[in-house]
């Protein structure tokens, strides 16, 4: 590794699944025990929470509500960002593992900023979006048994999800079900089902569940690439695990926001000012056509360490197009196929740039016989552009590779020893099991009281783009 490069690295080569970790810090704002989901709940208004003093530093927190039943809880470590398939193009329907497993997808053209509505589809009010989709959303509760120093504890957690197919495939966040002994899905009519974890992609924080049910009402999957900043969006979820099937509204505050979480993992997310709280994890974010365009998964939270005002209305959602091909592959194939290029890169430090090195993604290592090696990429090269699009750092390269598919050709502009050259790279394929064997082993250990939380090494560095630090 050459000097002058910082530690903001990512691995785009194939890697083993980490030991069941999740790269977010968790907040537990309430000490109440887990309450069961109820049909069409009418919760009493909670006592307003007193504003807490907060510090200048803040943190990204996941939206899972975890309530200790006996005491203790799972540990959460960092996970490396891995490359994935480009999102599938919208179609009228998508065939899943059987004729019954059909995911509905919208087929509309993107609205230009100056256009009031799109070519097809009806713009709904938030109340109409809710009425149309609340039966397609679910509450999720899990139990986790852990053993610390011989003391066995059981904890419960609550999250959200939504129905993908009539025959019971459910999408949620991976961190909602990570390490769980049992998973229960509750629909809007109050019916509870035991759920099976079908597969997950930890690096993209999604999990697919299956319940034994028929004639469910699935959501319609929209196109997150058609979103504009300022578009109205609607979230339906289960904040605090008690205020079930709640609706909040807001707008898209930013698109493709590179959010570096407290453990260093970076995700490109939709930023929204919808009220998003613990328990909203895995819930659907809808546009005003009643289509799912995101999966709520994190929020920006103050540290609570000084007299600064608390931070509100900075929530995040995973764009549906970013993970569409992944959950479709889990359902249809039982495995995940992602693109990879076989390099480890970092940002070029400002100090190095002051000595004449360009901005870009600096190559720190090249996998032998991988796509990058075959293209002629070398250690210490700096990738400054891909297919003519400027690369200012490692996150730009991550984004472009994630948007590609195995077999795609990428034209790399590379700075090497004072000269610029062009290399042609063919994107490779990485296939991973949607439900690794270690998950079964871990669940068996968890049932026996020996699940240790599954820590892993952090392969990322970096900072929030506005200079805020993230708490633990």
If we measure between CA atoms, which residue out of 135, 126, 189 comes closest to residue 162? 135
Per-residue pLDDT at 111: 38
Per-residue pLDDT at 32: 30
Q: What whole-number distance in Å separates Cα of residue 212 and Cα of residue 168?
A: 6
Q: Which residues pair with 300 in a beta bridge?
A: 60
- Tokens matching residue 217: 């009402």
Given 180, 281, 329, 352, the catalytic residue: 281
- CB neighbourhood size of 193 (10 A): 18
Q: What whole-number distance in Å separates Cα of residue 231 and Cα of residue 111?
A: 10
Per-residue pLDDT at 301: 74
Residue 101 is among the residues annotated as catalytic for this protein: no
Residue 281 is among the residues annotated as catalytic for this protein: yes
Q: Where are the domains of the chain?
A: 10-17+338-431, 93-111+120-336
In 284-442, the DSSP E strands lie at 284-286, 291-302, 315-319, 335-340, 343-347, 361-366, 382-386, 389-390, 409-416, 419-426, 428-433
**What fold does the segment set 10-17+338-431 form as a domain?**
Pdz3 Domain (2.30.42)
Q: What whole-number distance in Å separates Cα of residue 62 and Cα of residue 301?
A: 10
Query: Residue 14's pLDDT band (boundaries 50, 70, 90)?
Result: very low
If you write DSSP's letter for every residue of 282-305 in order, what string do you get?
T-EEE-TTSEEEEEEEEEEEE---
Given 201, 205, 231, 321, the catalytic residue: 205
Q: What whole-number distance in Å separates Cα of residue 234 and Cα of residue 466?
A: 26
Mean pLDDT of 221-243: 93
Mean pLDDT of 244-250: 94
What is the overall mean pLDDT for the chain?
73
| Among 72-81, 135-144, 257-266, 305-314, the least confident range | 72-81
23-76 pLDDT, tens digit per residue, is 333 333 323 333 444 444 444 444 434 333 334 445 565 555 543 322 223 332
Per-residue pLDDT at 60: 62
CATH of domain 93-111+120-336: 2.40.10.120
Per-residue pLDDT at 352: 82
Residue 205 is among the residues annotated as catalytic for this protein: yes
CB-based burial of residue 89 (10 Å sphere; 0-12 exposed, 13-18 middle, 19+ buried)?
Answer: exposed
* Local structure of residue 65 (DSSP, 8 states): E
- Tokens matching residue 191: 């019916």
Given 18, 136, 167, 175, the catalytic residue: 175
* Local structure of residue 166 (DSSP, 8 states): T
- CB neighbourhood size of 82 (10 A): 24
Query: Residue 170's pLDDT band (boundaries 50, 70, 90)?
Result: very high
pTM of the model: 0.66
| Among 291-295, 349-353, 362-366, the least confident range | 349-353
Q: What whole-number distance in Å separates Cα of residue 360 and Cα of residue 346?
A: 9
End-to-end CA distance of the chain: 29
Task: Identify the H or E element spanning 242.
Answer: none
With beta carbons less than 8 A apart as the criterion, state whether 38 and 243 touch: no
Strands 169-172 and 428-433: unpaired
Q: How far is CA 95 from CA 31, 172, 195, 449, in A?
A: 43, 20, 22, 40
Helices (H) and strands (E) in the chain, counts: 7, 27
97-112 pLDDT, tens digit per residue, is 445 566 665 555 443 3
Strands 291-302 and 284-286: antiparallel
If we measure between CA atoms, which residue out of 176, 236, 238 comes closest to residue 209? 176
Mean pLDDT of 165-183: 92
Secondary structure of 91-133 as H, E, C letters: CCEEECCCCCCEEEECCCCCCCCCCCCCCCCCCCCHHHHHHHH
Per-residue pLDDT at 61: 58
Percent of the chain whose pLDDT exceeds 90? 43
Q: What whole-number distance in Å separates Cα of residue 278 and Cα of residue 49?
A: 14
């Amino acid at each position: 590794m050459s000097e002058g490069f910082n530690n903001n690295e990512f691995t785009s080569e194939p890697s083993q699944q980490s030991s069941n970790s999740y790269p977010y810090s968790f907040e537990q704002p309430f000490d109440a025990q887990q309450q069961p989901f109820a049909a069409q709940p009418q919760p009493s208004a909670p006592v307003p929470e007193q504003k807490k003093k907060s510090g200048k530093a803040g943190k990204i927190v996941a939206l899972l509500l975890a309530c200790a039943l006996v005491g203790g809880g799972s540990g959460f470590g960092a996970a490396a960002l891995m490359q994935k398939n480009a999102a599938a193009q919208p179609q009228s329907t998508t065939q899943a593992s059987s004729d019954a497993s059909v995911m509905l997808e919208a087929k509309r053209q993107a609205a230009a900023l100056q256009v009031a509505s799109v070519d097809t589809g009806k713009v709904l009010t938030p109340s109409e979006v809710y009425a149309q989709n609340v039966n397609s959303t679910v509450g999720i509760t899990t139990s986790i048994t852990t053993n610390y120093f011989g003391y066995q504890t059981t904890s419960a957690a609550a999250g959200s999800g939504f129905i993908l197919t009539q025959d019971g495939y459910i999408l949620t966040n991976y961190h909602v079900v990570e390490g769980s002994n049992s998973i229960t899905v509750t629909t809007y009519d109050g019916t509870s089902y035991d759920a099976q974890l079908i597969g997950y992609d930890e690096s993209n924080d999604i999990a697919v569940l299956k319940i034994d049910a028929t004639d469910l009402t699935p959501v319609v999957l929209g196109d997150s690439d058609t979103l504009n900043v300022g578009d109205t969006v609607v979230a339906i979820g289960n904040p605090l695990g008690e205020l079930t099937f709640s609706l909040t509204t807001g707008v898209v505050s930013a698109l493709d926001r590179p959010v570096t979480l407290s453990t260093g993992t970076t995700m490109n997310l939709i930023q929204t000012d919808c009220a998003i709280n613990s328990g909203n994890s895995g819930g659907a974010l809808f546009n005003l056509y009643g289509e799912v365009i995101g999966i709520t998964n994190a929020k920006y939270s103050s540290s609570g360490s000084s007299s600064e005002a608390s931070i509100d209305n900075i929530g995040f959602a995973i764009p549906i197009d970013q993970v569409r091909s992944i959950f479709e592959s889990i359902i249809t194939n039982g495995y995940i196929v992602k693109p990879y290029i076989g390099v480890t890169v970092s940002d070029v430090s400002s100090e190095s740039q002051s000595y004449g090195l360009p901005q870009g993604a600096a190559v720190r290592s090249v996998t032998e016989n991988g796509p990058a090696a075959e293209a002629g990429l070398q250690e210490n090269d700096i990738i400054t552009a891909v297919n003519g699009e400027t690369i200012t750092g490692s996150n730009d390269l991550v984004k472009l590779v994630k948007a590609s598919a195995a077999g795609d050709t990428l034209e790399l502009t590379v700075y090497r020893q004072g000269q610029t050259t062009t290399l042609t790279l063919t994107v490779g394929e990485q296939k991973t099991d949607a439900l690794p064997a270690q998950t079964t082993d871990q669940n068996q250990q968890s049932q026996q009281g020996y699940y240790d939380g599954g820590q892993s090494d952090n392969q990322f560095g970096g900072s929030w783009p506005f200079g805020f630090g993230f708490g633990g």
